[in-house]
Every structure is written in structure tokens, then in C-alpha cells.
Amino acid sequence: MAAFASSSSVTISSSPTMAISNIANLAPIKLNKYNYVLWKSLWLPILYSFNLLSLVDGSNVLPSEFITTSDDSGLSVLNSNPNFTDWARRDQILLIWLNATISENLLVYVVGLPTSEILWRTLERRFSTISRSHVMQLKSRLQPIKKNSDSITDYLQHIKQIVDNLAALGSTIDDEDVVFNILNGLPAEFDAFTTSIRVRSTPITSDDLHGLLLSEELSLET
């Protein structure tokens, strides 16, 4: 494999120069076992922009390390293939970038993988099933949530956390469904309020509902 320059920035193909340390600005989250879809969605534009997608999808095949040419006397000579050196350099730089955005507890599963394509496909296989399972688990937790003795703020924060986690997994919940779940989890003392929201002629957003619920909570406490 080609050696790496000691400079803090590299130029890949005809793409603009980018400091390796700046990759965290473009992909500001580290991959963990819950956010693979979000992590991947941040990386795809980077791969497109730097003309690197072909390295991870397998369409840019590793060239032969050596090529055969003829010398002046017509004899075959084995020479290093400059295309191999360039490919290896680009691939290893991308591998460094990807590893830099993987959380420490997951690096154990990918350490030593030789190319960015193998790393990318390994993560894809590992997390596609986990992500689907986690989405189902989160959705099953969302429906039965009840306010009980929690404050409105804590109750809504609990729901928001699940909705945000689902979004990070690529599974967005329609805001109308979020409102439905919020209303369903309110105790009996909120029945009049819940009815007033349900009979509205225009739908209410979860953000607007949050403010109204805080006011209703204060009203019930006085």
C-alpha cells in the first residue's frame, strides 16, 4: 500500500483538499449501535462530493499491482502500476476517515479490515438487522407511554426521545401520530382538554400542543 504524507490535509482525485481533522465537521456524530442510518446519511454526501462512492460500493475495482511492459529490446518487464498506487492511497485515506467517525466500542469489530469497501459492507451487514429490530422495539415502547405522575415536561421529553431515536434510525413518525400518542397517554384529569383538541377543525402540531399542555397543567394545579 502507498505511504501517507505527513501533511494534515489530502487531495483525493480532483476533489478539493480537506484536512483529515475536519472530517468531524462534515460527519459530526460517531457511529454507535443506535444511529447507523443517521451516520450513513451523513457519509453519503461526503462520498459523492469527494468522488469516493465507487470505493465503497465495489464499482471501482482494485487495479493490478504490477503491469507488464516491453523494453527497447522487446523483452517483457514487470513494473509497478501507478493506478494501483493511486487507488490504494485514496482507499486508505477514506478508511482512515471512516474509522475516525466510529465510536471506540465499535472499532473492535472493524479494526484490521483492509479496505474501505470491506469496512462499509461489514457495517451495513451488522447494522441493517439491528436497526430494523431497534425500530420495532422503539415503536412498541411509544404507544403504551402514560403520563402517570410525571410532569408534562418529563412526559413529553420521554416521547420526544423515542421519536428522535426513531428518526436517527431513518424511521420518522408523522407529527399527527405523535399528537395522537401524547393525548392517549394523558390521565383522566386532562379529559376535557383532550376532547377540545380532538374536536378542533384544524390539526395541531406537537410543538403547539406542548405549550397548551403546560398551560393546562398550571391550570389544574391552581
How far apart (Å, rounded) are the C-alpha atoms in residues 47 and 86? Answer: 17
Q: What is the dihedral of CA 51, 121, 116, 108, to 10 degrees?
A: 140
> For the chain, what is the total number of helices (H) and then of strands (E)?
10, 4
Structural domain includes residue 72: yes
Instruction: Answer whether residue 123 shows pLDDT above 70.
Output: yes
Contact (Cβ atoms closer than 8 angstroms) between residue 116 and residue 56: yes
Residues 119, 44: one domain? Answer: yes
Q: Please report, rounded to a whole number, the percentage of residues in the chain having pLDDT higher than 70.
A: 90
Question: 176: domain range?
Answer: 144-217
Residue after which a domain boundary falls, among 84, 101, 130: 130
Residues 56, 112: one domain? Answer: yes
State the burial class of residue 182 (Cβ atoms within 10 Å of its Cβ: 0-12, 13-18, 19+).
Answer: buried
How far apart (Å, rounded) are the C-alpha atoms in residues 152 and 133? Answer: 29
Residues 121, 150: one domain? Answer: no
Residue after which a domain boundary falls, among 130, 154, 189: 130
Residues 113, 53: one domain? Answer: yes
Contact (Cβ atoms closer than 8 angstroms) between residue 199 and residue 175: no
Residues 157, 210: one domain? Answer: yes
How far apart (Å, rounded) are the C-alpha atoms in residues 58 and 121? Answer: 10
pLDDT per position as a tens digit, 24-36: 788 888 999 878 8
Structural domain includes residue 139: no
Q: Kindly indicate the confidence band of residue 2, based on its pLDDT and cuts at 50, 70 and 90.
A: very low
Q: How many CB atoms lie within 10 A of CB 35?
A: 21
Question: Which of 60-64, 83-87, 214-218 is least confident?
Answer: 60-64
Entry pTM:
0.60
3-state secondary structure (DSSP) of residue 176:
helix
Backbone angles phi, psi at 66, to 5 degrees: -130, 150
